[in-house]
Chains A and B, each alone.
Chain A
Amino acid sequence: MTTSTGNTAPTTRTGKAADYLDQRTSVGSAVKEFARKVFPDHWSFLLGEIALYSFVVLILTGIFLTMFFVPSMSLVTYHGPPASMDGQLMSDAFASTLTMSFEVRGGLLMRQIHHWAALIFLAAIVTHMMRVFFTGAFRKPRELNWLVGMLLMILGLAAGFSGYSLPDDVLSGNGLRITDGVVKSIPLIGSYLSYFLFGGEFPGEHIIPRLFTVHILLVPGLILALIALHLFFVVLHKHTQYPGGGRTDKNVVGFPLFPVYVAKAGGFFFVVFGILALMGGTMAINNVWNYGPYDPSPVSAGAQPDWYMLFLEGSLRLMPGGAEFVTWGDFTVPLNVLIPAVVVPGLLFTFLFAYPFVEAAVTKDKREHHVLDRPRNVPVRTGLGVAFLTAFIILALAGSNDLIATHFHMSINAITWAFRVLFFVGPWFAFWVTKRICLGLQRKDRELVLHGHETGRIVRFAHGEYIEVHRPLDEQERWLRVNYPAHAPLEIEPATDARGVRRKGYKKDKQLQRLSRFFYEDRVEPVTPTELAAAHSHGEHDALEGAGHARIEAGAGAGVGGRASSSSRRTGPTSAGPEVPAQ
């Protein structure tokens, strides 16, 4: 090794190349910065990566597919496999899909990987959103990134919808027909909008080329740009971390990007690609020749959209048909389409868009949060999330009501009615049950912190008394269970000021307070150091006396949201703790 002073010139080939690049771009400082960036470690942080990697797979396979797909609705007579399509009149789009599937080497595999990747892309997005929602990762400073994520999900839906319509088969044509009907149901502008989209009366000859542009240029371009923004925000905000010993809002506990996460994430990309390829190679998906070339007349049984659109299908299937009426001037207002296809998804999406801001408003919490919530510690949020999912799942099941009927030998009419009721009752019930479970888990945590683990060791005293010995929690366990904010309902200023003048903005404050009560009225306070100390001083005795079940059921009264009581019910130092005599 040469030791010429001051000469640190690289000697290896990679080193030389890196140095060449660095001298011209100063990229070294950026690499250093990124390589040392610390990320916390948890499997649920990989859910977003699944979405990212399936998007990469979508782009790779999609580029292959564009080489063979002909986005045209001009008619041709197709000759070739499969036998059921030979000699049929069909659009160029459908014919090229058949040629791509049966005569291009690897074409069908690519199509199937592409379609499975699309289903997984959206499934991963939804799962990732669940993780973010239930752990409160959308809180300040990440509200904007939540919105970017929401837009990504909606663009994902648009990408999926425009993509599965491209082959111009009967099934996707039925989907376009429904879209046409929904567009036409919009009052005043509906029919004009439909003519505008389809370039004339449905189906016209323009929709496939237009969807093609949307599918391969517009939507993926926007998705790419928003993914860049999404990831930029992740770097800027730093990644959130799960609560645990030593983890605060001011630090990030984890491993550096290089080499740990470069290896893990790089490896995971190949795992995702491998699983998608396996699915594309072994499981048939969207065999368009089963459905045949599009023709507006046939609709086959079991006509449904891909899973992420199924909630809209279900919403339409549940809606009774009688809601349509004709106004003066002979205008039809098809509420039977407008409500399920526009209003219902509108409400669902509005909830998701607005939630972070509503929660911030009722919490009046302006601090930055980098440590995630345990779902049990925010019972109302968790309950609302589960209620939302319940509504979504019920709608998706309603969209599959015919398959449920045939597979479980039930009456489709009865199923539809059951779902109509469940759509309104199910989410409330799910909310209530989830909230109760969360509160119960919090009480269990309190109990555990105050009294420790049951060891199963029974000791008999000289005077004959039996007790069970409790083992106190270690510091990590305790940190996890006591370090969370239990928000109280908002306190507002009185309606009038000191001189009896009505205060401006009182009404708004009052509404906010009402909402805040719904969120935070029922809550379980974390154990305070004082309580813990009290439990422990008494604990010598308690640990041996055991069975000091704190009476912390005070807040367990029934009632969702507790609208009636004005003073908040809480479980805290007053009603819990070791003062309660052992039985």
Chain B
Amino acid sequence: MKALAARRHHRFAPVVLLLLALLVTGGVYAALAPTPANAETASTEDIETGQKLFQANCATCHGPNAEGTESAPSLVGVGAASVDFQVSTGRMPMQMDGPQALQKPRQFDEEQTAQLAAYVASLGVGPTIPTDEQVDASQGDIANGAALFRTNCAMCHNAVGAGGALSEGKFAPPLWDVSERNIYQAMLTGPQSMPVFNDATVTPEEKRDIIAYLVEQRDGSAGGLSLGSLGPVSEGLWAWIVGMGLLIGAAVWIGAKSS
């Protein structure tokens, strides 16, 4: 102890203390931080809480044991990925009946979502929530993602994921603000009108490539303002509004100039 006290004025002492402090903070955070739940690691306690949450919030439509009713499908076997997608984007619980469930501020926090997911996953085997590595855009091949996106996704979501219309008021939403995890889950589980792209059709690596392509699109266009990336219609609209607007304005100004 004396040796320690003697060295407290050592010039490296603050550095050592700082390192210790960081270590402790990191350690405590690691121990206490909520871990993203998935079915494998979920405790029975989580499942039970999840069941209670389910019965209070979801059972009206999906049935007391998630077996489905006339107005909503059975959730046995949909997996944790599906629950996480629907609940974390606020689509479920559904606010109102309509052509499709709309995104809204999420109703459950991460822990509750994880508990719900754990409960539904315990009912039957289904797709699990992807790991951070699976959705890491920096590890994806952008060019391959672009090619896959063109052939599999662009017909509904637009060439760069700006969204598009489907029949009867349904639509494929824009993908600018969708989190990487949710994009992966959507491909895996095919929510609402979206088809399922299971791991045999689009492998996990390919899904990551697609995510990498979409994330790259968020940097904007090399050509300037992207005008919503909606293609020739928005370009034409801006040509008339900005271009013809300015030009006719200039013509009126020149015409009014005294000769």
List the interface of chain A (C-beta within 8 A of B).
41-47, 49-50, 82-88, 101-102, 108, 112, 115-116, 119-120, 123-124, 127, 170-171, 255, 260, 264, 267-268, 271-272, 275-276, 279, 281-287, 290-292, 295, 297-308, 310, 399-403, 405-406, 409-414
Contact = CB atoms under 8 A, between A and B. Distances in A.
Interface residues of B, number: 60
A307 B232 contact: yes
Contacts of B158: 300-302
Contacts of A282: 224-225
Interface stretch (B5-13, B183-191, B247-255): B247-255
B176 interface: no
Interface in B46-88: none
A88 B143 contact: yes
Given A83-B216, A264-B254, A405-B169, A120 B164 contact: no
A307 B150 contact: no
A83 B143 contact: yes
A350 to B, nearest CB: 25
16 contacts: A46-B254, A84-B146, A88-B143, A108-B222, A119-B235, A283-B224, A284-B224, A287-B222, A290-B159, A290-B160, A298-B154, A301-B165, A306-B236, A307-B233, A310-B232, A401-B165
B223 A108 contact: yes
A408 to B, nearest CB: 10
Interface in B197-228: 213, 216, 221-227
Contact of A41 (B164, B250, B255): B255
Given A301-B163, A310-B233, A88 B147 contact: yes
A255 to B, nearest CB: 5
A414 B168 CA distance: 7
Contact of A402 (B164, B221, B224): B164
B169 A300 contact: no
| Most chain A CB within a 10 A radius of its CB, from B151, B168, B235, B246 | B235
Given A102-B222, A307-B236, A400-B233, A123 B165 contact: no
Contacts of B222: 82, 101-102, 108, 284, 287
A292 B156 CA distance: 16
Contact of B252 (A43, A82, A101): A43
Given A120-B244, A286-B235, A413-B167, A292 B224 contact: no
A272 B251 CA distance: 10
B108 to A, nearest CB: 26
Contacts of B216: 83-84
B94 interface: no
B146 A255 contact: no
Contact of B239 (A272, A299, A307, A406): A307
Given A290-B229, A406-B163, A281 B224 contact: yes
Contacts of A285: 223, 227, 235
B231 interface: yes
A235 B230 CA distance: 43
B221 A287 contact: yes
A406 B162 CA distance: 10
Interchain residue pairs A-B with the least CB separation, the first 10? A301-B164, A307-B236, A43-B255, A284-B223, A300-B154, A84-B146, A119-B239, A402-B165, A411-B169, A284-B221
B159 A300 contact: yes
A411 B168 contact: yes
A82 B221 CA distance: 11
A123 B248 CA distance: 11
Contacts of B4: none
Contacts of A86: 142-143
A30 B227 CA distance: 49
A412 B250 CA distance: 38
Given A42-B255, A281-B224, A300-B164, 12 more contacts: A47-B248, A87-B143, A170-B150, A171-B232, A255-B259, A264-B254, A286-B235, A302-B162, A307-B235, A308-B236, A405-B171, A411-B169
B116 interface: no
- Main SS at interface, chain A: helix
Nearest to B145: A84
Centre residue among A255, A272, A284 by max chain B CB count within 10 A: A284
A301 B221 contact: no
Contacts of A87: 143
A476 to B, nearest CB: 18
A120 B247 contact: yes
Contacts of B247: 50, 120, 124, 271-272, 275
B77 to A, nearest CB: 31
Given A47-B251, A279-B242, A292 B155 contact: no
Interface string B111-155: 000000000000000000000000000000011011100110011
A299 to B, nearest CB: 6
B238 A283 contact: yes
A326 B154 CA distance: 34
B181 interface: no
B257 interface: yes
B205 to A, nearest CB: 16
B28 interface: no
A194 to B, nearest CB: 24
B159 A112 contact: no
B243 interface: yes
A83 B172 CA distance: 25
A412 B165 contact: yes
A303 B233 CA distance: 9
B36 interface: no
A279 B53 CA distance: 54
A283 B227 contact: yes
A302 B230 contact: yes
A183 B226 CA distance: 34
Contacts of A82: 222
A310 B236 contact: yes
A270 to B, nearest CB: 10
A286 B147 CA distance: 18
B72 to A, nearest CB: 22
A267 B254 contact: yes
Nearest to A264: B254
A449 to B, nearest CB: 27
B243 A275 contact: yes
A85 B146 CA distance: 8
A120 B242 CA distance: 10
B14 interface: no
A450 to B, nearest CB: 32
A411 B165 CA distance: 8
Contacts of A50: 247, 251
B255 A46 contact: yes
Contacts of A83: 142-143, 216
Given A116-B243, A123-B244, A283-B225, A304 B259 contact: no
B243 A406 contact: no
Nearest to A86: B143
Nearest to A170: B150
B168 A304 contact: no
B198 to A, nearest CB: 21
Nearest to A108: B223
Contacts of A43: 248, 251-252, 254-256
A163 to B, nearest CB: 13
